[in-house]
Amino acid sequence: MLTLLRATATLALTLFYLTGNAQKVMFDYNTNTDFTKYKTYAWLAHNDSVLNRPAPEKLFGGYIEKDANQELKNRGMKLVSENPDAIFIFYTSVDEIVRYSQSPTLSVGVGVGVGFPGYFGPAYYAGGSAPVAGGKITETIEEDGTIGYSMYDARTGKLLWNGSISKTFKLSDDIAKIIEDYTIRIFTKYPVKKSR
């Protein structure tokens, strides 16, 4: 099951990155499935203790599940701890992007000319310029983040639905608000519409 989950997450991320960084929800689902029969669900927790590495979803996992729980509740589903109809997982990916920009350069120009006063004819001019200020290079760090959700049938383990979205943001942004807004956008592509 874990291999299936990893393969699905990799496929979803690959499909997303092939479409560029447009903030468009990528989704897929089994059109032969009656999603209204799924009334209860549980979360499959991320478990990276084998690798013992920090994961970005650990920091924001509470926001991610809370916002998804609200969206699922609005669609008539109930979170349970035993015998769920469906299993949900979420996945995240965050990559640091470093951008460099250069401010405009201020140059001083010097010109020299030779002409003949009062006489129309050829004149000779020379000019040049040299940078004296500006051209400062500035580094900006941004994050390219992806959040996604997948739904599985708890009995068969079959993937039923997944949706993901990506956004470039800064760590100084309101991450909780970004998670909320983008979770709502993802679940607009869930096959059952809001009932309240």
pLDDT in tens, 111-150: 555 555 555 555 555 556 666 666 678 777 887 888 899 9
Average pLDDT over residues 20-49: 81
Q: Which residues of 37-54 are buried (b: 16+ CB within 10 A; e: fewer)?
A: ebebbbbbeeeeeeeeee
Q: Which two tokens stand for residue 12?
A: 């979803």
Q: How many whole angstroms separate alpha carbon 6 and alpha carbon 10?
A: 6
pLDDT in tens, 69-107: 999 999 999 999 999 999 999 988 877 878 777 777 666
CATH node for 2-96+144-187: 3.30.160.670
Domains in the chain: boundaries? 2-96+144-187, 101-138
- Looking only at the bridges linking them, the beta strands covering 159-169 and 105-114 are unpaired
Whole-number Cα distances in Å, 43 to 59, 127, 184 = 17, 72, 18
